[in-house]
Chain A
Amino acid sequence: MNSVSSLVLALVLFAASLVAQTKGTVSGTVFDAVNGRPIPNVQIAVDGLADSRNVTDPDGRYNISLSPGKYKLRFTGANHLETIIADLEVKPGETVDASTVMQQAGTTTTVEVNEKIGAIESNAESILTERKLASTVSDSISKDDIKNSTASDAAGALEKVTGISIVDNGYVFVRGLGERYSATMLNNAIIPTTEPERRVVPLDLFPANLIDNIKVLKTYSPELPGEFSGGLVQMNTVEFPTQKVFQVSVNYGFNSQTTFNRFQTFRGGSEDFFGFGAGPRALPAAIPTDNRLFVGRYTDSQFQQFGRAFTPDYEPREKSWARPQQSYSVVGGNTYGRLGVIGALTFANTPSHTPQLQRFLVNSGGGRPSIFSQYDNFTVDNESGRLAGVLNLAYKLNSSSKLLLRNTVTRDADKEVRQFSGLNGGIGVDVFDTRLRYVERTLYSTSLEGDHAFAHLKNSIFHWQLTYSNSLRNEPDLRQTIRGREPGTTNPYTYLNLGDSGFRFFNNLNDRIYEPQADWGIPFFKGKLSGLLKTGFRGTIRRRDFDSRRFRFVPVRLSTLDFTLTDNAILSPINIRPDGFVVREVTRATDSYQATMDVYGAYSMVDLNLGGKLRLIAGIRIEDANINVTTLDALVPNATPALAKLTNRDALPGFNLIYALTPRMNLRGGYSRTINRPDFRELSPFEFTNIVGGYSTVGNPLLQRALIDNFDARWEYFPGGNQVIAASYFYKRFTNPIEQTYRPTASELRQSFINVAGANNQGLELEFRQGLKKYSKRLADLSVQANFTFVNSDVVIPVAQFPQLTSRNRPLVGQSRFIYNAIAEWTKPKLRSSARFYANSVSRRITDVGTFRLPDIYQERNTFLDAVYQFDIREGGKWSLRFSAENLTDNVYRYSQADFLVRSFRIGRTFTIGTSYSFF
């Protein structure tokens, strides 16, 4: 809260200080033509005039302010051939990107890269350049791509990237591998998760407006943390402006099944709209925080007092119409001599109404499954409020050193009413279930980093970074009531005394990561042999505190209560009495735990150019990991803590070989070994009750970390400009992968984890991005992009370890066999218009593994169509209008098991109109 408000203040002050400017700016990054590394200490002469200030920084970047006109830039460096960009036009108040590559001296082959370099206008192209030269296989999405899509957050933006699908709204599946095989970094630091049951943070937490670019690294290199196999998602927040920026944008969205329709919500605080509603929902002050509310410890009248302290509100309130979606954002930044500042602030409020059908099957014994429970009227009404901000500062100590301070805060609140009714096979009753839930998630990350190029130390580069990140999840006062009636009747529902009825739940998660890291790189040039030696260190010190309390109103003498009353009436204070409802604490000993995970990794690697065509990146990383989970109920006297521990040291080699078939064509091959460690709750021998999922989970202290051998091959062709054609093949072999299993108890299924012998995952990726100009002049304004992913995975489930699981041989959970994306782009500068049309199709995938002779549950193929049209009211994108249509097909999401549809819903079409205005 404090950090958010200080950010707002900073932005306001900063905006006020902006003044008009008539000069233009030239900026860019200088890359090594062979290995793609940024080159520091390159001198840039403008029209032949050298200036000691015009030198690239340790990131290879430069920034020159010039009066409008045409210029010629000449780049010279110690070990590189001279490069020239001619006819560079600088317009007043605008920035022109003049990134380039430089050829190493001593390399004989020429690479034609600098023709028409002045034409580089789009970030997408510079990112392609970077990708072409990258040491690892990666896919990226640039700021422009994000801006031009319908995505409102990082998860939505990534959906269009090759090999990626988004599962459960925020989790990235890369090449069919689930979130347990991916990792997320923000500004080059690992970030903690806000979800106690997940390993990585959901990406829908990051508003698109704050993000400059997202890169998904698909192959490992020793400088990266060793724990990923599918992909490492690297997000970078807004970059430093090369000129003064201040932009405001406003969007309104209309969803066909939500906006202006009836909407369920519930009472909370006055700031619910903004996502600050935890205060009024906090645990009542009357409830002791140093003791559990156990029988025998307090008197009946104290219990009555405790019970009456809870807000007696269990019923949703219906609004006759839902507001449109709204989002507002402000981005501003400037450079003041050596100091660069950028800040962004965004707020969005999004209501959604999702009616669903849900069914649960059982094996009836008659040979085929039959319906066990069926909820025809399952609705989720959610209002999400999201406020996020970024404040980044850069300070240039001198031409070869700079300091960066980057801060990101994002918070997100969901206010959800869930109601369903129908036959519950578990109790043989028609139930009517109402749950009111409010969750706040906050992620704060701050990092201080420095880049130093040491010209006298053979141009070596030193990078250091200290990051502190903190995720908080606060779920105050979840309330649930269940009513019931005899099945098949239309009697009124009466209050049911079930374990989840009259239930109140409070939950807090605090996850912190302290991450120091340092890298040192020394380039070397010896005739035809050149390269970079790199070594570094990263410590990831993670701490988690998890705490929750559960309460339930239990009826004592039912004859004193009228169960036909409404929920609010029956649970009203007059019925909270020793012979009516009494409050009981049902917190479990394992509802609180502390966990630590310390990972220290050090690596050495070499990036070697062998002649001009062959490049080898090889190295090794050593990682020490130490995981500890302590479960202890501090409020129970003499409780003994339960401990779980895992210590490992692993050597993780990585090799990448790049062969330039032609200057525009690469062939890549790679091998690496990565690991996958058990998560906190997977390792602890004690049982955790999932909050979000349905199952409780008991960990397995005997779990080992899994080893993954990754093989990659890729052919890529960059025809020039914003174009690419690429094909990749990958094969991954898992040794002792951690898989979920189920152990039933009498009343529920309980999830556990086990190492299985092995699994395989292989696939193909094809990518194509091309302008259509060369096929026909009429198509000059059009370009198309398409990508296709095929994944085939195979897990063999040993019967002895998983007797309850039905499939013995199946794909990985969440893996689609085919993923297609197609994007058509139309740009007509004359009309100041551009439009994009997206199609995305994901084939069926397993969402839940079938148990007890029931088949696996599949989410069926679905296809999505989105369209965006943008019109500049004033030239140069200063003031633009934007129309987008999301989910035009509005296909039904279908989940099936055997021949039954077990879940289906639609999310509706969303039409958004927005405008943004740049002050400079």
Chain B
Amino acid sequence: MRTNILFTVATSLVAWSAFAADATAIHGKLLSLADAQRELAGVNQLDSSASMWVWATNNNRRNGEPDYIFRAGDQLTVRMTLKSNNDLYPYTVLAYRQNNQNGNKFYLPGNTQAVTDIFGRSPADGFQVTRLPDWNKQVLVGTGGALVSTPVAVPNEPGMHTIVVQLRDYTGTRVVKSAYWKFVVVGGIDDLPSNITSNRTLTNDRAYRVNGIVQVRGGATLTIEPGTVIVGAPGSQPPSVLLITAAGRINAQGTRSRPIIMTSSQPFGSRQRGDWGGLILLGRAGINDTSGQLNIEGLPDNEDTRYGGRDDGHDCGSLRYVRVEFAGALLRPNEETNSFTWGACGTATKSEYLQAHYGFDDSFEWFGGINDAKYLVGTYGADDYVDVQIGYRGRIQHGVFIGNADRSNRGIESDNYERDFGARPLGNPTMFNFTFVGSNAAGFDESDSPCLYFRRGSGGSFNNMLCFNWTTRTIGGANIADSIQPNINAGNFSITGVLGWNNGTAAATGAATNNFDSQVAADFRGHMNNAARQFVLANPLMVNPLERSDPNFRGLLGSPIFRATWNQPPDDGFFDQWATWIGAFGDFDWTEEWATFIQEEDLRP
């Protein structure tokens, strides 16, 4: 294979010159700096249409631990997929492992701190310029690897590490595109006790296992260091969940470089939704059930699983840069746990940069409460992405949600209260700037699965939503005339700023119809058929929205995402008013590095 030839040659610096002589003959075509300069005169290369992802597996993986977890000395295999997607720009390519504790980088292929590109050339030598090849699950490091042909033993450097592959411009200075992979080196794995009743800190030099319900209670705070991996054990009933009771707090503040990962115990490629339960935060803020207190979905009913009260300021804790993967264990028919659940959390709760990856139930679900959230990523969930009910009154901004190439359900599913549509206080969240990209397949278990779905007396304000390629239609709902229209009339419900394109196919015709009547459920047409609602059906012109494992949702030139007429978020201390675009992304990608989009089948060996 040509790609192999490239790397066989590249790993051997001695043979390099001989190869370069015949470089034009291969796909990953090498260029001289001068040729590159000549080709790109006057062009400012800002983005790449290529897609790529990199991942590492542990050759010494222990049963019940995911491939993320290494002990010092375990051997690592790194693989990569790269799709050039007709990107003919010349690039320089760098690959390194970074110890995120001290920032030290170890460049491949030499595995030393001296900076080289993947051909082993230092800045002093001048980086080798190349056009992009196409690689499919190419081994970079490991037996027969293109950069290092034997597995590399991970060093005794506890904590989180990142494998980074960068595409830099031909001068080797500006980074145009990167792929990241996180793993941890630990001394061992500890089982968390079922009850955490005094303050405890989980450090990133160990991994931790949740088996059954692990509940933080009795006033305790569970602190999780950045870069810590927590594994949910499978097959437990009730399922393995990390439950922050109303009498406990969590302080899990990862960073962009060292996110906190809560994940499946299974080997890469065979992880499934529902391998474990998920993360649940409960508080004492208000809900709109008359009893004032409910038991959380999916868990036995007892004092620890109840939420709701009168303290709207309740602090459930802080979550930043947290990934919850393969959660949503099946508790019983129709009851699965969500990846992230907030039950009656109050205003002091912090939630930012959170990813729900392959959740069985909803990615993010709120049961009452009034806590805000920002920067949410939901990937390949089997149910809804943002689900609110029982009188949720918080604010959410910046969210990207990708439907599974298999199926997912609704983008937003907003209820007031299932059992009493008219319950008060009214659930009236305010949401801004979400991008939904679906697979245009029928709903996973709800055959009426529009991108934005409102029912059961929902109130709220829903703004600047981009719906692309979703199921059924753009805006839908149930019980609209009976239960939502009164809220519209009272000014308690509005949808403003929707960019929809190719939502709803249908199985029968195979084609989506981009017209108002087919995109808006009948009972919402009165509300939406008004210029002030800014309902636009147009192609959003995103760079590469449908490449699942490495999508690019930024707008191309002329994209309606950047129209000047979109509605602006309020400057109320929470919303970012500078988000002048529709959907989640304007000028920068806030999912970079900490989030993962790789589909499970794409890293199956």
Residues on A facing B (Cβ under 8 Å): 292, 294-297, 300, 362-367, 370, 372, 425-430, 484-487, 491, 494, 496-501, 503, 550, 552, 554-559, 563-564, 584, 586-590, 633, 636, 685-687, 689, 696, 698, 743-750, 752, 803-804, 851-853
CB pair A852–B295 under 8 Å, yes or no, is: no
**Across the interface, which residues of A come within 8 angstroms of B296, CB to CB?**
745-746
Please tell me if B390 contacts chain A, counting CB pairs below 8 Å.
Answer: yes
- State which of A297, A552, A689, A852 has its C-beta within 8 Å of the C-beta of B419: A852
Q: Is the beta-carbon distance between B64 and A296 smaller than 8 angstroms?
A: yes
**Contact, CB under 8 Å: A851 / B419:** yes
B292 touches A296 (CB 8 A): no
Within 8 A of A (CB), among B438-458: 441-442, 444-448, 453, 455-457
Is the pair A589, B295 in contact by a Cβ cutoff of 8 Å? Answer: no
If A494-B442, A746-B296 touch, whether A853 touches B335 (CB-CB below 8 Å) is: no
Is there contact, CB below 8 Å, between B421 and A365? yes
Chain A residues lying within 8 Å of B295, measured Cβ to Cβ, are 743, 745, 750
Interface residues of B (CB under 8 A from A): 64, 233-238, 265-266, 270, 272, 274-275, 289-292, 294-298, 300-302, 330-336, 365, 367, 382, 389-390, 404-407, 416, 418-423, 441-442, 444-448, 453, 455-457, 472, 477-479, 482-483, 486, 507-508, 601
A698 to B302, CA, bound (A): 10
Other A-B contacts than A300-B270, A425-B479, A558-B441, 20 sampled, CB-CB below 8 A, are: A362-B418, A365-B421, A365-B483, A370-B483, A427-B448, A428-B446, A428-B448, A429-B448, A491-B508, A498-B334, A550-B332, A558-B404, A584-B330, A633-B237, A685-B302, A743-B295, A744-B291, A746-B294, A748-B334, A852-B420
Q: Which of B332, B418, B421, B601 contacts A499 (CB 8 A)?
A: B332
User: What B residues does A292 contact at CB under 8 A?
Assistant: 235, 237
Contacts of A853 in B (CB 8 A): 420, 422
Determine the distance from Cα of A22 to Cα of B238 in the docked complex, in whole angstroms.
73
Contacts A428-B446, A748-B335; is A564 near B292 (CB within 8 Å)?
A: no
Judge whether A496 and B419 touch: CB under 8 Å. Answer: no
Q: Are B419 and A744 interface neighbours, CB within 8 A? A: yes
Question: Nearest Cβ distance between residue A801 and chain B, in whole angstroms?
Answer: 10
B446-A366 in contact (CB<8A): no
Chain A residues lying within 8 Å of B482, measured Cβ to Cβ, are 364-366, 370
CB distance from A525 to the nearest CB of B (A): 62
Majority secondary structure of chain A interface residues (helix, strand, loop or mixed): loop
CA distance A370 to B477 in the complex (A): 16
A690 and B407 CA atoms in complex are apart in Å by 31
Shortest distance between the CB of B525 and any CB in chain A (Å): 15
Q: Which of A370, A496, A589, A745 is B294 in contact with, Cβ under 8 Å?
A: A745
Complex formed: what's the CA distance from A483 to B132 in Å?
47
Q: How far is the CA of A686 from the CA of B238 in the complex (A)?
A: 11
A853-B421 Cα distance, complex, nearest whole Å: 10
Contact B297 A428, beta carbon cutoff 8 Å: no
Hey, which chain A residues are within 8 Å of B330, CB to CB?
Answer: 499, 552, 554, 584, 586
Residue of A nearest to B63 (CB): A296
Given A499-B332, A589-B237, A636-B237: A746 touches B445 (CB 8 Å cut-off): no
B294 touches A744 (CB 8 A): yes
Least CB distance, B427 to chain A, in whole angstroms? 11
In the complex, residue of chain A having the shortest beta-carbon distance to the beta carbon of B453: A428
Kindly provide the distance from the CB of B290 to the nearest chain A CB, expressed in whole angstroms: 4
Q: Which residues of A contact B334 (CB under 8 A)?
A: 498-500, 747-748
Using Cβ atoms and an 8 Å threshold, which residues of chain B touch A559? 405-406, 441
Are A803 and B291 in contact (CB-based, < 8 A)?
yes
Decide: B420 and A698 in contact? CB cutoff 8 A.
no
CB distance from B51 to the nearest CB of A (A): 20
Contact partners of B301 in chain A: CB under 8 A: 687, 698, 743, 745, 750, 752
With both beta carbons as reference points, the residue of chain A lying nearest to B479 in the complex is identified as A364
Instruction: Tell me, in angstroms, the Cα distance from A300 to B271 when the chains sit together.
Output: 11
Residues of B within 8 A of A696 (CB): 332
A362 touches B421 (CB 8 A): yes
The interface residues of chain A lying within 8 Å CB-to-CB of B446 are 427-429, 484, 496
Complex CA distance for A827 and B456, rounded to whole angstroms: 63
Q: Are B294 and A428 in contact (CB under 8 A)?
A: no
A282 CB to closest chain B CB (Å) equals 22
Please list 15 pairs of residues, one from A and one from B, whose beta carbons are closer than 8 Å in the complex, sorted by A's number.
A294-B234, A297-B235, A364-B479, A365-B421, A428-B448, A485-B447, A491-B507, A499-B330, A555-B406, A588-B238, A687-B300, A745-B294, A745-B301, A746-B294, A746-B297
Closest chain B residue, CB of each to CB of A686: B300
Q: Are the CB atoms of A588 and B331 closer together than 8 Å?
A: yes
CB-defined contacts of B441 to chain A, threshold 8 Å: 558-559
Going nearest first, the 8 A-B pairs with the smallest beta carbon separation are A294-B235, A365-B422, A499-B333, A499-B334, A364-B482, A803-B291, A746-B297, A558-B406
Q: Which residues of B contact A297 (CB under 8 A)?
A: 235
With A366-B486, A558-B441, A636-B236: A503-B332 Cβ-Cβ less than 8 Å: no
Distance in angstroms from A682 CB to nearest chain B CB is 14
Contact status A429-B457, CB under 8 Å: no
Which of B416, B442, B477, B486 makes the CB contact (< 8 A) with A563? B442
| Residues of B contacting A: mostly | loop
Q: Which residue of chain B has the shortest Cβ distance to A805 in the bound complex?
A: B290
Query: What is the CB-to-nearest-CB distance from B515 to chain A, in angstroms, rounded to a whole number?
Result: 17
Please name the residue on chain B nearest to A579 by beta carbon. Answer: B601
Closest beta carbon of chain B to A472's beta carbon, Å? 25
Which residue of B266, B389, B405 is within 8 Å of A295 (Cβ)?
B266
B413, closest chain A residue (CB): A428
Chain B residues lying within 8 Å of A746, measured Cβ to Cβ, are 294, 296-297, 365, 367, 389-390, 418
Minimum CB–CB distance from B307 to chain A (whole Å) comes to: 10
Residues of the B chain whose Cβ atoms lie less than 8 Å from the Cβ of A366? 422, 482-483, 486
Closest to B64 in A: A296
- Smallest distance from the beta carbon of B434 to chain A beta carbons, Å? 20
Contacts of A851 in B (CB 8 A): 419
Whether A497 contacts B445 in the complex (CB less than 8 A), given A294-B235, A589-B238, comes out as yes
State whether A295 touches B275 (Cβ < 8 A): yes
Given contacts A295-B275, A363-B421, A589-B238, contact A803 B442 (CB under 8 A): no
Q: How far apart are A488's CB and chain B's nearest CB, in angstroms? A: 9
Contacting residue for A803 out of B290, B298, B448, CB 8 A: B290
Question: How distant is the Cα of A555 from the Cα of B404 in the complex, in angstroms?
Answer: 13
Residue of A nearest to B508 (CB): A491
Q: How far is the CA of A485 from the CA of B443 in the complex (A)?
A: 10
CB contacts (< 8 Å) of A747 on chain B: these are 297-298, 334-335
The answer, among B274, B302, B478, for a CB contact under 8 Å with A425, is B478
Complex Cα distance A494/B446, Å?
11
Q: For A484, what are the chain B residues with a Cβ–Cβ distance below 8 Å? A: 446-447
CA distance A586 to B270 in the complex (A): 20
Q: Is the CB of B335 within 8 A of A558?
A: no
Q: How far is the CA of A363 from the CA of B417 in the complex (A)?
A: 10
Determine the chain B residues whose CB is within 8 A of the CB of A589 once the complex forms.
237-238
B289 contacts A804, CB within 8 Å? yes
Q: B237–A804 contact, CB under 8 A?
A: no
CB pair B292–A803 under 8 Å, yes or no, is yes
B442 cross-chain contacts in A, Cβ below 8 A = 494, 563
Across-interface contacts of B444 in A (CB, < 8 A): 497, 558
Report the minimal beta-carbon distance from A322 to chain B, rounded to whole angstroms: 31
A746 to B407, CA, bound (A): 23
User: In the complex, how many angstroms separate the beta carbon of B526 from the nearest chain A beta carbon?
Assistant: 16
Inter-chain CA distance A687–B299, complex, in Å, is: 10
Contact check, B406 vs A429: say whether CB atoms are below 8 A apart.
Answer: no
B332 and A486 within 8 A (CB)? no
Q: Are A586 and B333 in contact (CB under 8 A)?
A: yes
Whether B486 and A365, one on each chain, are in contact in the complex, defined by CB atoms closer than 8 angstroms, is yes
* Pair A427/B445 contact, Cβ less than 8 Å: yes
Quick check: A295 and B445 within 8 Å, CB to CB?
Answer: no
Inter-subunit contact A428/B483 (CB<8 Å): no
Partner of B235, one of A296, A485, A550, A555: A296
Query: Chain A residues with Cβ under 8 A from B422's Cβ?
Result: 363-367, 853
Closest CB of chain A to B428's CB: distance in Å? 13
Contact A370 B407 (CB under 8 A): no
B397 to chain A, nearest CB (A): 24
